[in-house]
Amino acid sequence: MVFSSTIFLFAFFPLFLAVYFAMPWRAARNVALLVFSLVFYAWGEPVYVWLMVGSILMNWALALCISRAGLRSGPWRKLFLGLAVVANLAILGFWKYQGFLAQNINAVLGEEFLADLQLALPIGISFFTLQALTYIVDVYRGEVKVQKNPLYLGMYIAMFPQLVAGPIVRYSDIEYEIDHRRATLAGFAQGLRLFCVGLGKKVLLANTAGVLADSLLAQDAATIGFIGCFSGVAAYTFQIYFDFSGYSDMAIGMGKMMGFDYPRNFNYPYTARSATEFWRRWHMTLGGFFRDYVYIPLGGNRVSVPRFIVNTMIVWGLTGIWHGAAWNFVLWGLYWGILILLEKFFIMRLLDRLPGFVSHIWCAVLFFFGWLLFAVTGLSNVAEWTAALFGAYGWLGTSTLWELQSWSYVSLVPIFIVGSLPWAPYLRKKLEAWAEGDSHRSIVAAPAKGNSAVPPCQALCEGVVVAPGRARVLAAVNALVDVALVAVFVLSAMAIVSSSYNPFIYFQF
């Protein structure tokens, strides 16, 4: 089950909200959230849901052992921590990488030394395993209290809004909210708006770009030439952003409806001016995980230059392999690691002296070729596509412009570009500045809190002192934005019902 499906939009989620808010106690709501989360996961993984339940119980028990060992029992605490880390990584490694390791070991040895079990990958296993690891490590560090109730820990690990596509929510992010969150009408409305934004990104933008991307990425580079390869990677560039950020927006929105404040996962990454900045804006929760649980424990940047380089490449190698069990993902991770090192030691000094648009072009080229490594499977195919982008097979290969269909998407490119730019917070700031400009101020509201991906005029009066006349204008603008979001939801629902094309690109995670 995915968020952009009729069964979720018109059956599962409305039923969940009805049951959830019918519960008079927060404890009952926590249990309801756990039950619905397990049903959500079992809908697509009826067997592997028991793997998740086993992971929940294992991490609950080992965290209790770490807590009860006490600070004075250092060796025991380290033993339980080691068992938890090894067990979680073993679960992830076996189900996600067994086939990859078997194929490569057999290729090196020239015989079938290990059998490829061809295991089906449990959806979202990387996400819920990383969340479990953050909980275990934070309990060991004393940064969070151990959760004695296995149902509550299960609710955290299995929580359906962010279960299969993130953001990666640490236990510390919602530790207080498990027992003390408050669901308010204002928070519910804000979450609903953000959910509509995310749904529109996924269905109206990502799926549209995905049609072209899928049709071209499946072909040989020699067949489609420069125009086909460029169009395929460009379409995938927009598809993966709108798809992933759309799912994150929907997850954060659903969390707000329930009173949870999930961390932000995207901050307009395509506006970045360097590789380093790009990864501060893209999949921010994953970057935070590798920074706090891998990079800093390795010594971070408080080490010698050679060790710093090694630490950086370890982190990026792991980032690459986390995304998928294939060599192109390893190459993709190392590609970004090398670029970030080059920027730190050489390139940024030059970029800082050049006009801003040069930095933007530099970063656009980087993530374009990065998504080529990500989207095209097989190293030989990557080499052919790269050659095609440098003109090895001509403009069209053996195809015609009509066959490629790239021309029919040209009119959508401005929409894709505008959709990836931060015009929403820009307009919000401008309107707030206009509202504050009157010297006769009479309305004061509480400060706004939330994701800046919220629609531009949402709650514009929050945190702003507004004159009565201007407040009425802002209220009218807010109403128009809400009407537009209703239209986005209706159009998205119509697109879902009328089309069978609704890809889920996170199966490899």
Residue with the two structure tokens 């501060």: 280
Q: C-alpha dihedral over 214, 218, 222, 225, to 10 degrees?
A: 0
SS (HEC) of 79-136: HHHHHHHHHHHHHHHHHHHHHHHHHHHHHHHCCCCCCCCCCCCCCCHHHHHHHHHHHH
Answer for the pair 278, 316: CB distance below 8 angstroms, yes or no. no
Number of other CB atoms surrounding residue 46 within 10 Å = 9
Q: Could you tell me the two tokens for 353? A: 């002296």
Cβ proximity of 328 and 373 under 8 Å: yes
* Residue 198 pLDDT exceeds 50: yes
* pLDDT for the residue 344: 92
Would the pLDDT of 496 be above 60?
Answer: yes
Q: Residue 206 is which amino acid?
A: A
* Per-position DSSP letters for 250-265, written without gaps between them: HHHHHHHHHT--PPP-
Contact present, 145 and 177 (Cβ < 8 Å):
no
* pLDDT band with cut points at 50, 70 and 90 for residue 463: low
The predicted pLDDT at position 259 comes to 93
The answer to whether 360 is a known catalytic residue is no
Give the tens place of pLDDT for each residue, 206-229: 999 999 999 999 999 999 999 999
What is the residue extent of each domain of the chain?
6-181, 191-419
Reported pTM: 0.91
Which pLDDT score is estimated for 17?
A: 97
User: What's the pLDDT tens digit per position in 67-123?
Assistant: 988 766 678 899 999 999 999 999 999 999 999 999 999 998 888 888 888 888 888
**Is the pLDDT confidence value at 404 over 80?**
yes
Asked if 171 and 156 touch (Cβ cutoff 8 Å), the reply is: yes
Catalytic residue among 180, 283, 323, 360: 323
The mean per-residue pLDDT over the stretch 132-160 comes to 95
Q: Is the peptide bond before 150 cis (omega within 30 degrees of 0)?
A: no
pLDDT confidence bin for 18, thresholds 50/70/90:
very high
pLDDT tens digit sequence for 161-197: 988 887 999 999 999 999 999 999 999 999 999 999 9
Place of tokens 């009565």: 468
Cβ(201)–Cβ(491) under 8 Å? no
pLDDT at 441 over 70: no
Instruction: Please identify which residue in the block is written with the tokens 């990454």.
Output: 269
Q: How many CB atoms lie within 10 A of CB 189?
A: 15
For the chain, the average pLDDT equals 89
